[in-house]
Amino acid sequence: MKIILASQSERRKNLLKQIFDNFEIVVPDTEEIMEEMFEPAQIAMLNAEKKAKSAGRKIDNKNCLIISADTVVVVNNRIFGKPSDFNSAFEYLKILSGTIHRVITGCCLFFPAENKIIMDYETSYVKFRHLTDQQIVNFLKKDTFLDKAGGYAVQEIGDEFVEEIRGSYDNVVGLPLGLLKKMLDDFKNLRETEIIDIGFPNSSGVGKYSGKTIFIENATVGDIAWFRVKREKSNFSIAENCGIKKYSNLREDPFCPHFGICGGCTLQNLKYDFQLELKTRYLVETLSRIGKIQTKPDLDPMIASPVERYYRNKMEFAFGLNGGKMVLGLRQRYSPLKKYRGYVNKLDCCPIFADFVNKLFPFFIRYAEQNNLEPYNPFTKKGYIRHLVLRHAKNTGQIMAIIATRSGIHLNLGDFAKSVVNQIPEIVSFWWVENDQLSDVVSFQKKHLIYGRTFIEEKIKGLRFKIYPEAFFQPNTGGAARLYETILSLASTVRHKKILGLFCGSGPIEIFLSRIAEKVIGVDNNPANIQTAIENCRDNGIENCEFFCLSAEEFLKKETVNQNKYDIVVLDPPRSGLTGKAIRRIIDICSESVIYVSCNPATLARDIAIFCANGYQIKRIIPVDMFPHTTHIETCCLLQSS
């Protein structure tokens, strides 16, 4: 097999001759990635991959092995690639003077004929002596620095600059031969498998090899994927994706340019109909595995979202640094094969949210930069500016903008808010929130209204709903309409004179149900939710709803003592589901019917199994897709007392 080196570096040519007598040179056409959102080792490997694939596009005979490498130098968390000119090379060497710095080389092997690829890296530590400006200038006058990471080649500077090297010398030169030999052995032994499922909720592809389950990131159903195992468990393995040999016909091109890097959507490369099929399959398997519940014929087809793009009405974007520049985006997705660093992936658009993002982001980035507001880092706990929360009422067009920071600095946001509104007049509510929680969450500890109203208003099926900064509102407005109509339809098939809604939030379900019931009671433990629910009833002229600010357990205890009965109890708990005490007290009040609305199939299965063990029967299960292109599932379940 023909060997190709994707590099014009003489030092890499000379090193590779120690492994291969004959190889060809193909010079890649690439620009370096030097973005802070990636770890240094990942930057080196991504650049090596870009070089290999660039070389692969240049050749006609794809039946060859392409070898590439890229080196970066790291000191004090600052990453140096190749200098652009004399001045930047001088700056690099001044910073490296007297330090112990890391030299990281990423290597890539690529076989274009079968799209087979592996990457790895090696790290060495170089201790520099304290250098004078004249020493640096004398070296740079040789004019050999432009193609070298950190502005130097160790074989050229020798002992004059270098006091000590720990690790591979070849790695510092630019091609770690020990690592490369190991990679060549691994490459010969790559395995392949067909992806037969998607692992929920993390969306890894699922394959089988020698009877064992293999989880492979960035692979989807129908793909035939190359892999090498990185973590062995007793009953499954986690493997590295080493290229897709054959792409599935269930794939489609993602409509978002950030898909695969952004921490948001995970299924956007799959046809939407098949996404629904996967989610239904996962729901059925979870109900069976955890709840021992057989769904047929009780399971309805999943109700699709009315729109697949621009469906979300709320997003929480994080501020971060990318290449030393302020960015807005989403934090990296967790991977079992990579250390989580909380980097913010820069976004220029968000096609599941709204098309004004690309117009709005630059205003907030510029404001943060002009006011020297360092982005908050959830690992170091340093920084000031945290999040930009945007809420967009899809049917009224109203926008709420919320800038979240740590406390301690006074911000003069009035003029800034007006300048933003002048450009985007749909913003009718602008808030500043101070949040000192250490974790990376949006918490409304202290709120300041900067501009406009305290709320935005949404309309669903002829009803008006106020949305305040911290209020929960179903993130898919069109999907919420279908969800509420589904609940209304289920309730209308059973006795519905008196209805109790637990975990009611701002009351949209209860308000919908008021159309068929004589009396509806809503219960929530958040005072702001209850106040909003009361306002929503008043705004819609609804007089048969009453709301109480109590925990579900406290309210049910009171109702049990008073022997109050309900025809239907509607449950819409958080992802953690119901407490055992809540379930027992719901059973104690002897409601004829229970409608359970769940965003977590696992806790739904656990809870309805308890209801079924206490005299309830499942009548219908209706899944609703509220989150296209993700693994999240909403489910409505009708239970009736036997």
Could you give the CA distance from residue 494 to residue 486 in angstroms, rounded to a whole number? 13
Could you give the CA distance from residue 368 to residue 328 in angstroms, rounded to a whole number? 11
Strand segments, DSSP code E, in 276-426 are: 314-322, 325-331, 344-346, 385-392, 399-405
186 burial type by CB count under 10 A (0-12 exposed, 13-18 middle, 19+ buried): middle
| pLDDT tens column, 525-571 | 999 999 999 999 999 999 999 999 999 999 999 988 788 899 999 99
- 630 and 590 in contact (C-beta within 8 Å)? no
| pLDDT tens column, 254-304 | 999 999 888 789 999 999 999 999 999 999 999 999 999 887 768 999 999
Helices 601-613 and 272-291, packing angle to 10 deg: 40
| pLDDT tens column, 142-164 | 888 888 888 888 888 888 999 99
Question: For 522, how many CA atoms within 13 A lie in the half-sphere containing its CB?
Answer: 30
Q: Sorting pLDDT into bands at 50, 70 and 90, what band is 408?
A: confident
364, 533, 608 from 416: Cα distances, Å? 9, 32, 51
Mean pLDDT of 4-21: 94
CB atoms within 10 A of CB 294: 12
Could you give the CA distance from residue 316 to residue 330 in angstroms, rounded to a whole number? 8
At residue 537, the 3 state secondary structure works out as helix
44-69 burial by CB neighbour count: b if 16+ within 10 A, else e?
bbbbbbbbbbbbbeeeeeeebbbbbb
Predicted pLDDT at 262: 87
Mean pLDDT of the residues in the chain: 93
Predicted pLDDT at 105: 96
Could you give the CA distance from residue 420 to residue 451 in angstroms, rounded to a whole number? 11
Query: How many helices (DSSP H) and strands (DSSP E) are in the chain?
Result: 16, 29
The type of residue at 376 is Y
CB atoms within 10 A of CB 475: 18
Question: Is the four-CA dihedral 96, 102, 103, 109 of positive or negative sign?
Answer: negative
Is a pLDDT exceeding 90 seen at residue 177?
yes
pTM of the complete model: 0.90
Active site residue 108: no
What the chain holds in terms of domains, given with CATH numbers, is 2-188 (3.90.950.10), 191-251 (2.40.50.140), 275-306+471-641 (3.40.50.150), 314-460 (2.40.50.1070)
Predicted pLDDT at 32: 78
Is a pLDDT exceeding 70 seen at residue 35?
no
**Would you state the structure tokens that stand for residue 85, as one six-digit string?**
């000119």
Mean pLDDT of 391-395: 98
| pLDDT tens column, 302-348 | 999 999 999 999 999 999 987 678 999 999 888 888 877 788 989 99
367, 399, 469 from 356: Cα distances, Å? 18, 10, 19
Mean pLDDT of 488-498: 96
Predicted pLDDT at 37: 61
108, 599, 636, 637: which one is catalytic?
599
Q: Which residue in 15, 143, 121 sits closest to 70, CA to CA?
A: 121
Predicted pLDDT at 188: 94
Question: Is the four-CA dihedral 253, 255, 259, 263 of positive or negative sign?
Answer: negative
Predicted pLDDT at 214: 96
Is a pLDDT exceeding 90 seen at residue 409?
no
Mean pLDDT of 235-250: 96
| pLDDT tens column, 82-138 | 888 999 999 999 999 999 999 999 999 999 999 999 999 999 999 999 999 999 999
